[in-house]
């Protein structure tokens, strides 16, 4: 949502060199997209690669004087980039490189590089709780066509300040939507299919489950990828395209998993195997996602029967809801 990234202090700076620093999920990539809107994008994720191809990039822009170019470096939050490389690149960008007319360069760095970026007066994406609460309000209005504006309107009376609670747990927009999605899944799983009343408000117990999940996620650290490693699709490195199903139990599990659609399978992982759910990457096919759980059971054969039980129970619950 474009409105997520306004009024944070920095949108009035229209210089052709922009440096953004913020934690994972704070909206750095979205802000870069907005800054480079209407221009020709030349986007990179590695500082090493950008340094290596800088001259070619500039030559490309010079050969097309009728176009406005945006050179974008968006360092991935999970990538292990050497501080010395980032420091050298920023020094070159701000002291050595002479940018041709109609060429902008935008750089987004993870929060760990704030100290290195400070001399260049970066735009720091730091979300306040009140701003995240305002974002929740925008989202609720959008989802209800303007009929509602607060989460409290969907909560039982014993749930205190839910909008503030969600914003405080989240700290960033990405985490806000992640936790909101989890809360929705918790709610849909706890509503009894036999409940014929209209009492479907969010309960205090569901918020307790959300708090436990948020605590679990905050204790996990994203995997680091050495800067020298070639870019490889996560689906290739984390799970094979197909797994040899060595046992009848694995075959049974595979058959059961194929009965679930993508959202049902992800919901199952979110509740029963959150560490496997964390491995799902953007663009991963459904069969590749299934292979993540199959690979886990291949490495831990004693867990296969338990997984089968989880899937069977999930399918029964879904049938009851229908």
Separation CA 150–CA 162 (nearest Å): 9
Domain final position from 77, 105, 124: 124
Q: Do 73 and 113 reside in the same domain of the chain?
A: yes
Domain final position from 99, 124, 149: 124
pTM, to two decimals: 0.58
Q: Do 88 and 10 reside in the same domain of the chain?
A: yes
Q: Do 169 and 244 reside in the same domain of the chain?
A: no
Q: Is residue 57 part of a domain?
A: yes
Using the predicted structure, report yes or no on whether residue 7 has a pLDDT greater than 50: no
Q: Do 142 and 100 reside in the same domain of the chain?
A: no
Measuring CA to CA, which residue among 310, 321, 218, 206 is closest to residue 267? 310
Burial bucket for residue 99 (CB in 10 Å: 0-12, 13-18, 19+): middle
DSSP-derived letter for residue 3 is G
> What is the residue range of 161's domain?
129-218
* pLDDT interval class at 13 (50, 70, 90): low
Alpha helices in 92-246, H assignment, sequence order = 114-117, 129-143, 162-170, 173-190, 204-218, 234-238
Mean pLDDT, the chain, integer = 77
Q: Is residue 228 part of a domain?
A: no
Phi, psi of 30 (to 5 degrees): -60, -40
pLDDT for the residue numbered 113: 92
β strands within the chain, DSSP E: 17-22, 40-44, 69-74, 79-80, 103-110, 123-124, 225-226
pLDDT for the residue numbered 282: 66
List the 123-124 sheet strands across, edge first: 40-44, 69-74, 103-110, 17-22, 123-124
Contact in structure between 87 and 116 (CB atoms under 8 Å): yes
Measured CA angle at 226 (ends 75, 230), to 5 deg: 80
Strands 17-22 and 123-124: parallel
Q: Do 100 and 7 reside in the same domain of the chain?
A: yes
Per DSSP, the three-state class of 115 is helix
What would the pLDDT profile of 39-80 be if each residue is shown by its tens digit? 776 777 777 777 777 777 777 777 777 778 888 888 888 777
pLDDT for the residue numbered 227: 36
Separation CA 251–CA 254 (nearest Å): 5
Q: Do 50 and 142 reside in the same domain of the chain?
A: no
Q: Do 21 and 99 reside in the same domain of the chain?
A: yes
Q: How many structural domains comprise the chain?
A: 3
Q: Is residue 199 part of a domain?
A: yes
pLDDT for the residue numbered 119: 92
Q: Do 113 and 15 reside in the same domain of the chain?
A: yes
What would the pLDDT profile of 108-158 be if each residue is shown by its tens digit? 999 989 999 999 889 888 889 998 998 889 888 888 888 989 988 988 888
Q: Is residue 297 part of a domain?
A: yes
Domain final position from 218, 252, 278: 218
Q: Do 144 and 73 reside in the same domain of the chain?
A: no
Using the predicted structure, report yes or no on whether residue 190 has a pLDDT greater than 80: no
What would the two tokens of residue 206 be?
């569901």
Measuring CA to CA, which residue among 105, 100, 95 is closest to residue 47? 105
CATH label of the domain that carries residue 7: 3.40.50
How confident is the model over 219-244, as a mean pLDDT? 40
């Amino acid at each position: 949502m474009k409105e997520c990234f306004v009024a944070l202090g920095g949108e009035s700076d229209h210089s052709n060199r922009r440096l953004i620093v913020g934690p994972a999920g704070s909206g750095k990539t979205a802000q870069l997209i907005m800054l480079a809107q209407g221009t020709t994008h030349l986007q990179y994720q590695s500082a090493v690669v950008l340094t290596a191809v800088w001259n070619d990039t500039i030559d490309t822009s010079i050969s097309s004087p009728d176009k406005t170019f945006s050179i974008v470096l968006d360092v991935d939050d999970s990538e292990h980039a050497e501080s010395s490389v980032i420091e050298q690149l920023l020094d070159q960008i701000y002291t050595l490189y002479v940018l041709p007319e109609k060429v902008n360069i935008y750089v987004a760095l993870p929060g760990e590089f704030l100290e290195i970026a400070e001399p260049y007066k970066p735009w720091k994406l730091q979300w306040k709780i009140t701003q995240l609460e305002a974002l929740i309000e925008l989202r609720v209005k959008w989802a209800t066509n303007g009929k509602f504006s607060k989460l409290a309107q969907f909560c039982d009376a014993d749930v205190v300040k839910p909008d503030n609670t969600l914003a405080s747990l989240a700290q960033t927009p990405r985490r806000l939507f992640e936790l909101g999605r989890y809360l929705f899944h918790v709610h849909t799983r706890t509503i009894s299919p036999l409940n014929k009343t209209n009492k479907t408000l969010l309960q205090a117990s569901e918020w307790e489950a959300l708090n436990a999940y948020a605590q679990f996620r905050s204790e996990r650290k994203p995997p680091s990828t050495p800067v020298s490693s070639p870019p490889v699709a996560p689906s290739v490195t984390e799970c094979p395209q197909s797994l040899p199903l060595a046992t009848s139990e694995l075959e049974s599990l595979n058959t059961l998993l194929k009965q679930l659609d993508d959202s049902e399978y992800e919901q199952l992982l979110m509740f029963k195997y959150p560490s496997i759910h964390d491995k799902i990457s953007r663009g991963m096919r459904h069969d590749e996602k299934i292979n993540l759980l199959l690979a886990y059971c291949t490495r831990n054969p004693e867990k296969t029967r338990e997984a089968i039980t989880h899937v069977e129970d999930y399918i029964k619950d879904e049938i009851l809801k229908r």
